[in-house]
């Protein structure tokens, strides 16, 4: 996360996006409004023309008044099942393409990004003029469905919680928020109590700002979904935790033996966020991070290191790969999956974290109770619920963890944990597997049928 005034932060996001592009990564810029997106698109295209990535010559006129030629990236804005590629389906709203050729009539021959064979299609001139934009930068709405290596997200005090979540989940490797501190919407309701806004206060306001107007049907659906999905609530928790613990991790790193120059490099690194998440995970697992960090720093100098934060993250992983020796320490994981953010932090940050923790726990428990009550197929992998109160509580905690994992990763099939985990969910998968084993090991002699168990609750108090 980076923060600054509007122009500076836009420049930082653009330069980071350009570096990723030059290094061959699939990357995207995401902004709040169409005007900002158009400016970024026109700048990116102009640079691509100068460097020869985009060809000069015949151009097609796009819906927002911009133009595209061979080599440009574009995005389609309307589903059209009549426009089909050879192997990769039909043209969809939100698909990104690279222009291969511009025909005399303004039609575009394009290839879907990420494909080498079978992804080409001709977009007719009429479709291009009404439903195609440049695709270097997009709005959060257009970003839905996009998956890239890295996403660079411009955040202002008018960004909504929903748009932030969509934007910050597009990148496989990293999602970086660039927070503009200049006020953009006087009616947004951001209160700073007379103090200058910070990245933390802007993000807290964004997370409290949901889309204002919804239909009656949508309102009912939202209520039925019990305060939104776990994926969104967890993303919100982790975003707040990163901001809330920033100063604490900076202080510990400063005291661990880093030079001031090295500390600045770590705090400015794109890998600082993953390092902070690793420290939070280690502490939640019972490790003493105040002892581990100086050891990690002192293992070897950083003279030949390109990214000190990445090296420190790896060293912390190695140092915490074993279970802590002290049996007095206990794991602090919310619903058995999410490392709890601990330590000193601002009161408003703590309140925001506690609020989302409550919502996460409420939703996970509701999902588990509903699955047991309806005898969902995945619950057959658990032993029947025990009658003994303490056994029933342990069984209930296991069911909650499995239900939370399923909801977080949108698993709907009969397998309790779905198919093989991706790299990004491997640690959660291991925690859910451990919970599932605990749910299978309750004493059989004291168990009861699931239907009755569903009526009596999970025994979690």
Q: Is pLDDT above 70 for 343?
A: yes
DSSP-derived 3-state class of residue 24: coil
Q: Are 40 and 147 in contact (CB under 8 A)?
A: no
User: 229 versus 2: which is more confidently predicted?
Assistant: 229
User: Of 12-26, 154-168, 171-185, 381-395, which gets the smallest average pLDDT?
Assistant: 171-185
Q: How confident is the model at residue 212 (pLDDT cuts 50, 70, 90)?
A: very low
Most confident range (mean pLDDT) of 204-208, 230-234, 428-432 is 428-432
What is the predicted pLDDT for the residue at 392?
Answer: 87
Average pLDDT, the chain: 82
Give 36-52 pLDDT, tens digit per residue. 999 999 999 999 999 88
Among 59-73, 196-210, 307-321, 371-385, where is mean pLDDT lowest? 196-210
For 13-140, strand residue ranges (E) read 27-31, 60-61, 67-68, 73-76, 80-84, 90-91, 96-102, 108-112, 120-123, 132-134, 137-139
Mean pLDDT of 106-132: 85
pLDDT at residue 199 above 70? yes
Provide mean pLDDT across the span 15-26. 91
Q: Is the pLDDT of residue 270 over 90?
A: no
Q: Which two tokens stand for residue 430?
A: 């291991």
Containing 408, the helix (H) or strand (E) segment is helix 389-408
Q: Is pLDDT at 3 greater than 80 in this prediction?
A: no
Q: How far is CA 287 from CA 43, 146, 159, 193, 291, in A?
A: 48, 37, 37, 37, 9
Write the CA distances from 452 to 113, 291, 380, 459, integer angstroms.
52, 49, 14, 13
The region of weakest confidence among 13-27, 317-331, 399-413 is 317-331
């Amino acid at each position: 996360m980076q923060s600054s005034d509007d122009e500076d932060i836009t420049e930082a996001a653009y330069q980071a996006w350009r570096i990723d592009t030059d290094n061959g990564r699939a990357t995207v810029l995401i902004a709040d409004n169409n005007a900002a997106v158009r400016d970024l698109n026109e700048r990116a295209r102009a640079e691509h023309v100068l460097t020869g990535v985009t060809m000069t010559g015949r151009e097609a006129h796009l819906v927002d008044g911009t133009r595209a030629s061979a080599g440009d990236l574009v995005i389609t804005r309307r589903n059209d099942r009549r426009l089909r590629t050879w192997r990769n389906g039909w043209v969809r709203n939100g698909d990104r393409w690279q222009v291969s050729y511009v025909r005399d009539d303004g039609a575009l021959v394009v290839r879907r990004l990420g494909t080498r064979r079978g992804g080409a299609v001709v977009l007719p001139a009429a479709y291009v003029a009404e439903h195609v934009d440049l695709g270097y930068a997009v709005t959060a709405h257009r970003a839905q469905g996009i998956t890239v290596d890295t996403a660079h997200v411009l955040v202002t005090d008018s960004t909504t919680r929903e748009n932030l979540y969509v934007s910050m989940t597009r990148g496989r490797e990293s999602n970086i928020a660039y927070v503009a501190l200049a006020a953009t919407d006087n009616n947004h309701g951001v209160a700073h109590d007379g103090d200058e806004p910070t990245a933390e206060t802007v993000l807290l306001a964004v997370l409290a700002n949901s889309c204002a107007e919804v239909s009656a049907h949508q309102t009912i659906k939202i209520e039925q979904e019990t305060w939104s999905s776990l994926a969104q609530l967890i993303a919100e928790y982790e975003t707040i935790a990163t901001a809330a613990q920033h100063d604490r991790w900076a202080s510990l790193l400063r005291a661990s033996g880093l030079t001031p120059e090295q500390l600045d490099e770590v705090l400015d690194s794109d890998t600082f966020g993953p390092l902070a998440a690793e420290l939070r995970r280690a502490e939640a697992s019972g490790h003493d991070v105040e002892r581990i960090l100086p050891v990690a720093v002192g293992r070897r100098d950083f003279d030949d290191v390109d990214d000190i934060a990445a090296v420190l993250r790896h060293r912390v992983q190695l140092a915490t790969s074993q279970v802590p020796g002290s049996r007095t320490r206990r794991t602090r994981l919310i619903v058995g999956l999410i490392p709890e953010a601990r330590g000193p932090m601002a009161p408003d940050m703590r309140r925001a974290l506690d609020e989302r923790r409550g919502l996460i726990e409420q939703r996970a428990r509701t999902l588990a109770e509903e699955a047991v009550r309806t005898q969902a197929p995945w619950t057959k992998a658990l032993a029947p619920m025990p009658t003994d109160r303490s056994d029933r509580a342990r069984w209930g905690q296991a069911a909650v963890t499995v239900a939370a994992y399923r909801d977080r990763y949108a698993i709907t099939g009969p397998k309790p944990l779905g198919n093989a985990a991706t790299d990004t969910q491997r640690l959660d998968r291991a925690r859910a597997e451990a919970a599932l084993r605990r749910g299978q090991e309750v004493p059989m002699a004291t168990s009861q049928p699931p239907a009755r168990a569903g009526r009596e609750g999970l025994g979690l108090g």
